[in-house]
Structure 1
Amino acid sequence: MLVSDTEVYISGFGCITPIGNNGDENLQSLRLGQCGIRKPVLFESKYASLYLFGEVSLSNSELCSLLGFEGVKGLTRTDLLAFKAFGDAIQDAGLRPEDISSYDTAFVSASTVGGMCLTDQLYRDSNLQSDNGEFLNSYSCWAHATRIAGHYRIRGLVDAINTACSSSANAIMHGARLIKTGRAKRAIVGGVDALSKYTVNGFNSLQILSQGYCKPFDADRDGLNLGEGACYLVLESRESLGDRKPLAVVAGYGNANDAYHTSSLSDNAIGILRAMQNAVLSAGIDPEQIAYVNAHGTGTDNNDKVESEGFRRFFKRIPPFSSTKSYTGHTLGAAGAIEAVYSVFALMYGELYPNLNFGKPEGPNGLVPVLKTTKADLCYVMSNSYGFSGNCTSLIFKRL
């Protein structure tokens, strides 16, 4: 499929994460090195006392009140987080109701867990143990997207993606391609995931949850912290943007799948390398022009080791990099979009955000991430997201 040289602009965003309920709060936490990982207050699980999580501070009832959804039945925490971030994004971009309802507007969302955040309720419903069926239409990974599309009367293309931890990065890539190929003038893209027993139990069975704070790229890393959140970006063509001032440009993207293992990346970083190569190729730049990388960096042994290998093989001189999952935990399907916004922050304000909890490089030639908030002259930044089964995506953003 031919892709035009049309530039894709980011005109606004909305995000709610463990380090902030809006964009300004997220930016402030990044600058101050304030971590949002802690013992959960709202999430109930037998593992709540054993592990730390990145939990959004607002309860479901607080979200309902904030959104004006009191009394609305069937809404999961996934739905509520998504509505909050989506509403903030369209407001930030200055989209009008007629823009959102236009056939030229696409909506591409992503989620790994979707409505299965209600794990116990799903079990009761599926085993006919429940008298209340209000959530029967809420469990799919696309239920939140369907509800948002209905609420905002979106008539253009609506899609939902689940490629695990690269899901919302792929949503951004899909939206950018829709604009470049003339299938849409604007696209609202991103993703959402809420903490759930389904994922906590699953990651616990893989034995990759840390009982302390995750330490991406540290020699003594012992696993990840799961998190939750939602984030959406508004992408627009120049024609759609009009006189409004954009924030940054989606300059390039690449996706590859190494198909090595269900939950691990190949040791020789095949998928990671191909994704980064495709991203710089689509951006029309050389790897040396990348001034910062927001790494996938989960804090697991396999991920960080393979990503480091990918950096060594791809870059002649590895640029500054850090993992902002050390702030939020791993937010799964929302991670790619959240980290895309953090990458845009880096471009907009000319600053790098530290990789928290790092103490010791892995061996004498181990890579050392950014360790403190630093001013930097940035033109291109890369954001990496890797999902289960080796679904690897790299996005490149350009300063205006």
Structure 2
Amino acid sequence: MSSSVYIAGVGVISAIGNNVAENLASLKNEHAGMGDITMMDTIYRKHLPVAEVKLSNDELAVLADLPANISRTTLLSMVAAKEALDDANIPNFKTLRTGFVSANSVGGMDKSEDFFVKFLADNSKGKLRDIFDHECGSMTELVADKLGISDFMTTVSTACSSSANAIFYGTRLIKNDVLDVVIAGGTDSLTKFTLNGFNTLMILDKAFCKPFDENREGLNLGEGSGYLVLVSEKVAKTLAKQPYCKLSGYNNSNDAYHQTASSPDGTGSYFAMQGALKKSGLQTTDIDYINLHGTGTHNNDSAEGTAIKRLFGPNYPPMSSTKSYTGHTLGASGGIEAVFSVLAIKNKLIYPNLRFETRMEELPFEPVKELLTDQNIKHVMSNSFGFGGNCTSLIFSAI
């Protein structure tokens, strides 16, 4: 059994940048990615802000070296996964036992929506070949094939904790000597299906979201993709550069309180964070930064905050929600925020919680409001909490 699992490479694309360097620059410059809807044909244009990746499918296809007629979710996945693998630069990669564990929640819904607009108007119209990758697993297979990975592949879909669970699972595969290298994370694109669904739940903010603010009004949907390259201790020793850090703790807990809401007392959130700490052998006082799930909804922020108060009080580490930059990228959020957590350790940064103004009445703490640099960050906790009470916390630790 491998004693430690290391992060050898990172890749990300989101509303604030098309690669790691651009995302990091936006985080430092406090540049958010929200704006008017431009990619989708929807009645909510100019009414509901979203955080879109600023590239068309044709432009993404060039970066991904894939056909433009496949789903946007697949294209986003390929761009970030390839960047992560290139960044890792693993010697003799093809001789190792490799895996691709990828998460998403919408699959190729965007292409299906386009098909049904034409088909419902005239059932002789619409091309079925354009929606061959509708289901969530098809994009995992396509990207794995493109990356040259055939030993192991699987898809995780547990709502907004999906890609955190993919990273969790990939780590276990390495620790139990099933694989040597795993590219793990997730992807999701904006679709009318998700926009309409979240709007029906009445949890979308008509302005830019304000996570953990007393006057928060909801979330902004986003899209993107984020992956880590996880390697065993043996592989880590062969790398030309030192790994970014290691994944020291992880845990999943499900409170099963409600299909689309967290338990008011944050039961799932509490046990996810507590379990990750136990796995890592760390104490609450060892955590230097929490990347909050922090969606900006009344229920989510209250539940997560209550759990943090119960577990960490009275000594609270700095914390913030980077969804104030990227919007809520659903199945991709855990992967994107894992990359941001790794970058926080490497670059000694704590990101601000953009647009925060007023502390929540029920909490004795508030998120960081300004970029903090030159921080001695050894341990970062990243929270990803999904529908159905599926809650996962990851802890990244400096080497």
Q: 2:367 aligned to 362, 366, 369, which one?
A: 369
Q: 2:11 aligned to 8, 14, 33, which one?
A: 14
Could you say which residue in structure 2 is the equivalent of 1:237? Answer: 232
User: Mean Cα displacement is larger for which, 120-129 or 192-201?
Assistant: 120-129
For residues 106-126 of structure 1, the C-alpha deviation after alignment (integer angstroms, 9 at most, x for no partner) is 110000101112342353588
Question: Following superposition of structure 1 onto structure 2, how do residues 217-366 of structure 1 map, counting pairs within 5 Å?
Answer: 217-241=212-236, 242-244=238-240, 245-316=242-313, 317-363=315-361, 365-366=363-364
TM-score (norm 2): 0.95
For residues 147-180 of structure 1, the C-alpha deviation after alignment (integer angstroms, 9 at most, x for no partner) is 1122233111100000010000000000011111
* Cα offset, 1:231, TM superposition: 1.1
Given that 2:166 and 2:185 are in contact with CA atoms closer than 8 Å, whether structure 1 keeps it comes out as yes
For these two proteins, the number of residue pairs brought into alignment is 393
SS at match of 1:351: coil
| Letter of the structure 1 residue corresponding to residue 386 of structure 2 | G
Could you say which residue in structure 1 is the equivalent of 2:194? Answer: 199
Aligned-partner Cα distance in 1 for 2:105–2:131: 18
SS at match of 2:288: strand
| Letter of the structure 1 residue corresponding to residue 44 of structure 2 | Y
Could you say which residue in structure 2 is the equivalent of 1:117? Answer: 110
* Cα offset, 1:143, TM superposition: 1.6
| Letter of the structure 2 residue corresponding to residue 341 of structure 1 | V
Question: Following superposition of structure 1 onto structure 2, how do residues 4-83 of structure 1 map, counting pairs within 5 Å?
Answer: 4=1, 6-69=3-66, 72=67, 74-83=69-78
Given that 1:20 and 1:26 are in contact with CA atoms closer than 8 Å, whether structure 2 keeps it comes out as yes
Gaps of 5+ in 2: none
Aligned-partner Cα distance in 2 for 1:129–1:304: 47
Given that 2:288 and 2:380 are in contact with CA atoms closer than 8 Å, whether structure 1 keeps it comes out as yes
TM-score (norm 1): 0.94
Matched, 1:384 2:383: yes
* Cα offset, 1:380, TM superposition: 0.6
Gaps of 5+ in 1: none
* Cα offset, 1:42, TM superposition: 2.1
Aligned-partner Cα distance in 2 for 1:367–1:204: 30
Could you say which residue in structure 1 is the equivalent of 2:175? Answer: 180
Matched, 1:88 2:86: no
Given that 1:103 and 1:155 are in contact with CA atoms closer than 8 Å, whether structure 2 keeps it comes out as no
User: Mean Cα displacement is larger for which, 111-120 or 248-257?
Assistant: 111-120
Structure 2 CA distance for partners of 1:5 and 1:285, relative to 1, 3 Å: farther
Given that 1:354 and 1:370 are in contact with CA atoms closer than 8 Å, whether structure 2 keeps it comes out as yes
Given that 2:102 and 2:186 are in contact with CA atoms closer than 8 Å, whether structure 1 keeps it comes out as yes
Given that 1:102 and 1:155 are in contact with CA atoms closer than 8 Å, whether structure 2 keeps it comes out as no
For residues 24-77 of structure 1, the C-alpha deviation after alignment (integer angstroms, 9 at most, x for no partner) is 1111111111111111222321112211100001111111223333xx374111
Aligned-partner Cα distance in 2 for 1:392–1:360: 26
Could you say which residue in structure 2 is the equivalent of 1:169? Answer: 164
Aligned-partner Cα distance in 1 for 2:347–2:305: 26
Q: 1:136 aligned to 128, 131, 138, which one?
A: 131
Aligned-partner Cα distance in 2 for 1:274–1:364: 20
